[in-house]
Structure 1
């Protein structure tokens, strides 16, 4: 995922790795299970297209430097 930011006429891009690079068997599903077990509020979205749409919208409305 790449976030692009414009500052005073210049464009800066930052890349965030959202994939676990280790072969340790810990997937995003496992991580989310940990959050649920710790009683963090979350909503699971089973439909991938719906999840992706919500994710993209959320990224677009973040304040400038986040």
Structure 2
């Protein structure tokens, strides 16, 4: 199981570009053991400003 979390990117292209340029995130994205992917996006306000949060969950079927 692997997980990536990101904040602030507004498009899929932006979050993938950022992830592929981060060694830990890149390792999860390109890990050949992971065959399944779940993606979550949350929009909300915190401390008076809007925020964009992303989550990627990577897994392998049992």
TM-score grouping bracket, smaller chain normalisation: under 0.3
The answer to which structure, 1 or 2, has the higher relative contact order (CA under 8 A, 6+ apart) is 2
Which structure has more strand as a fraction of its residues? 2
TM-score by length of 2: 0.26
TM-score by length of 1: 0.25
Which structure has more helix as a fraction of its residues? 1
Name which one, 1 or 2, has greater alpha-carbon Rg: 1
